[in-house]
Structure 1
Amino acid sequence: MTPDNLNTATATNAITYLMRNYVAYNAWANTTLINWLRTYPEDVLDKEVRSSFSGIKPTILHIWQTQAYWLSVIKKEAFEPEGEFEGSIEDAFATLIQQSEEFSAYVHQMTAASIEENNLVVNPWFNCDFANFEYIQQVMNHSTYHRGQVTTISHHLGLSGAPMTDYNYYNIFGKKKDSQ
């Protein structure tokens, strides 16, 4: 999409535009949150708190692993779950950013037809046969939900000044003019 029509869906269908914009937003939001977290000492970030996950690192790992699973679904590749993560919190941060960028790059190269194509998912938890754009929307929404949890966990750790990572904020201030 060219910069002169960046804010409209005229160059491609609306679903394709939205999915490409949403995965770019997700990568931006994850990077923005991680860059803020990196301003604090690792020993603070590694502390455990009472939450749905025991801290920032497990929540970041969950976001990354869920994105990796859904990307494998969209690519129609076998998912190979990671073993026990042995890396540092910085390793988790770097991996989430890399995985988010990979997800974005993949969706940006998909055709409109492949974004709208149905994709059968059979796994131990559920079976469904939805269009790929619904899976993309699901995982981006899931990541947004857990970024909120990271912000809440951060507040419990006494951290302040979490960045604004809302979708509209991205559209107004965070979007690169050449990202579409």
Structure 2
Amino acid sequence: MSVKKIITSYATYNLSANKQFVNWLSKQSEEQLLQEVPSSFKGILQTLNHIWAIEEMWCADLFKNDDAVNRYGVQDLNSKEVFEGLLNRSSIIAEKVNLLTDNTLAENISIKTPWFEANLTLAEYLQHLFNHGTYHRGQIITIAHHLGFTEMPSTDFLFYSLMASNQS
């Protein structure tokens, strides 16, 4: 299997998982989404905003898009804005990844941020981006359990892959 096929699958999986979360979380009240709990971020909406912020950052760094939105430090959150922003950026990333070639994915890119300095392939950065979203969606599930939410979506990559292969 080519690197392009793997990374493209992860990009569409990321978008699909984010859609499932938005559909599920949009049934919850704004108060529940903002309720503070002990976690990496104060609550569900704050964690989802963080996923969006990182997608914005990586899209700007990797694809040089100039329409990235800086979500760091945003305190006044509302679910509609976060849901729409996350899905929009995830969709754009999936579209951009779909246009890449194996050769482009194998190119090294030097990145220097306040947190790290690296010279990895585009594929490795993208794999990190998708893992990052998966990690924090897992945190959201744990937070949701503590808040008494039910009917959590199943967003494991394996189940996404099985569903996608049955549709082709």
Report the CA distance shift for 1:95/1:48 in structure 2 as closer, same or farther (over 3 A). Answer: same
Q: Which amino acid aligns with 2:7?
A: M
* Greater RCO structure (CA 8 Å; 6+ sep): 1
- d(CA) in 2 for partners of 1:33 and 1:175? 22
Deviates more, 1:128-137 or 1:155-164: 155-164
Pick closer, same or farther for the CA change 1:80–1:170 going to 2, 3 Å.
closer
- Code of the residue aligned with 1:170 in structure 2: it is Y
Q: Match for residue 134 of structure 2?
A: 144
- TM-superposed deviation, 1:62: 0.5
- Cα distance, 1:55–1:80 mapped onto 2, change above 3 Å: closer
Which residue of 38, 60, 64 maps to 2:52?
A: 64
* Percent of matched pairs sharing the same residue: 33
**RMSD, matched Cα:** 2.0
Whole-Å separation in 2 of the counterparts to 1:168 and 1:30: 16
Corresponding letter in the other structure for 1:75: F
Does 1:107 find its partner at 2:107?
no
Deviations 1:137-176 (A, max 9, x none): 0010010000000111111111012111000100112569
Q: Report the CA distance between 1:127 and its aligned residue.
A: 1.2
For residues 102 and 133 of structure 2, the distance between their equivalents in structure 1, rounded to whole angstroms, comes to 23
TM-score (norm 2): 0.90
Aligned match of 1:123 in 100, 104, 113? Answer: 113
Of the two, which has the highest radius of gyration? 1
Task: Report the equivalent of 1:4.
Answer: none
- CA distance in structure 1 between the aligned counterparts of 2:105 and 2:24, rounded to whole angstroms: 32
The reply to whether residue 18 of structure 1 matches residue 37 of structure 2 is: no
- Gaps (5+ residues) in structure 2? none
Q: Give how far 1:41 is off.
A: 2.2
Distance 1:157 1:80, change over 3 A: closer
Q: Which amino acid aligns with 2:103?
A: A
Give the AA of the match of 2:17. A
Moved over 3 A (4+): 76-80, 174-178
The match for 1:28 is: 16
Q: Which residue of 2 aligns with 1:134?
A: 124
What amino acid sits opposite 1:127 in the alignment? E
Runs of at least 5 residues in structure 1 that lack an aligned partner in the other structure? 1-8
Identify the residue that residue 27 of structure 2 maps to in structure 1.
39
User: What is the aligned counterpart of 2:88 among 98, 104, 114?
Assistant: 98
Counterpart for residue 54 of structure 1: 42
SS at match of 2:120: strand
Deviation at residue 85 of structure 1 after TM alignment: 5.3
The alignment covers a number of residue pairs equal to 166
Q: Does 1:89 align with 2:59?
A: no
Give the C-alpha shift of residue 87 in structure 1: 4.3
| TM-score scaled by length of structure 1 | 0.84
Say whether the 8 Å CA contact 2:50–2:71 is kept in structure 1. no
